[in-house]
Amino acid sequence: MSLTLYYHPLSSFCWKALIALYEADLAFEPRLVNLGDPVDRAAFQGVWPLAKFPVLRDDAHGQTVPESTIIVDYLAQHYPAAAGLVPTDPDLAWQTRLRDRLIDSYIHLPFQQIVSERMRPDDKHDPFGAEQARSLIRQGYDIIAPMIGDAWAMGETFTLADCAALPALYYADYGVSLADWPGLAAYLGRLKARPSIARVLAEAEPYFQYFPLKDG
């Protein structure tokens, strides 16, 4: 099999890559990585020295591709079934990538800071830093909400931007509720109903017990 994805089912950034692969119905070998296992971690470092997932290995093209956004972009460029994930029109393409970056920078990454704060030792908590992250997420919601129409982030076509939006909104809703952004909440509902995304969520379900904010 040409494609191998190194990932973990609970990782939000891995979801972006998984959604793209399932959306395009591309065959790949899923390689679940346990970073807590020294042997597994060392083996993964042999593939990508930073040992951060997701990482896509494409043996057919002799390429190792890290970073979730780059993976989706790579698939769109090299696999016809995934081509629609990044529009061919240059203006639509940069707008798609802009939505992806805004979602990651102002929603996805700040929420990971909230998760990290929750996991700190009791004497190392940083409430101020966590509130700063929540403020960034609110700003992100305000920026993204007007960009979303009645279907997907770029209109009627499901794209890279939607692959980015699902993990960001799904998880961030636990830190900053979407209740005050009903348009985004409805969009998240549409995303969760899409078959490729429903599959990702179902595969992650056994691991949700380890997510530190699932208890609110």
Q: What confidence score (pLDDT) does residue 11 get?
A: 93
Taking the chain (216 residues) in consecutive chunks of 10 residues, what is each chunk's mean pLDDT?
93 97 98 95 96 97 97 98 97 98 95 69 64 91 94 97 97 93 98 98 92 58
Q: What's the Cα-to-Cα distance from 21 to each of 47, 146, 157, rounded to whole Å? A: 20, 28, 16
Q: What confidence score (pLDDT) does residue 122 get?
A: 62
Answer for the pair 85, 75: CB distance below 8 angstroms, yes or no.
yes
Q: What confidence score (pLDDT) does residue 216 get?
A: 43
Q: What confidence score (pLDDT) does residue 125 get?
A: 58
Q: Which of 64, 70, 74 lies closest to 24 in space, CA to CA?
A: 74
Phi, psi of 155 (to 5 degrees): 105, -130
Long-range contacts of 69-74 (CB under 8 A, 24+ apart): 69/16, 69/97, 69/100, 69/101, 69/104, 69/160, 69/164, 71/16, 71/17, 71/20, 72/16, 72/17, 72/20, 72/160, 72/163, 73/97, 73/160
Q: What confidence score (pLDDT) does residue 113 get?
A: 79
Can you tell me which residue has the tokens 């995303």? 191
CA distance 103 to 184: 12
Q: What confidence score (pLDDT) does residue 153 get?
A: 97
E strands present in the chain: 3-7, 29-32, 55-58, 63-66
Q: What confidence score (pLDDT) does residue 215 get?
A: 46
Q: What confidence score (pLDDT) does residue 123 get?
A: 58
Q: Which of 44, 61, 60, 63 lies closest to 52 in space, CA to CA?
A: 44
Q: What confidence score (pLDDT) does residue 164 get?
A: 98
Q: Which of 57, 83, 55, 59 lies closest to 67 in space, CA to CA?
A: 55
DSSP tally for the chain: helices H, then strands E: 9, 4
Q: What confidence score (pLDDT) does residue 118 get?
A: 63
Q: What confidence score (pLDDT) does residue 116 get?
A: 64
Q: What confidence score (pLDDT) does residue 149 get?
A: 84
Can you tell me which residue has the tokens 């952004």? 181
Residues in contact with 186: Cβ distance below 8 Å, sequence separation at least 6, in sequence order:
none
Q: What confidence score (pLDDT) does residue 185 get?
A: 97
DSSP 13-45: HHHHHHHHHHHTT---EEEE--TTSHHHHHHHH
- Sketch out the chain's domains with CATH numbers: 3-82 (3.40.30.10), 90-194 (1.20.1050.10)
pLDDT (tens digit per residue) in 37-73? 999 999 999 999 999 999 999 999 999 999 999 999 9
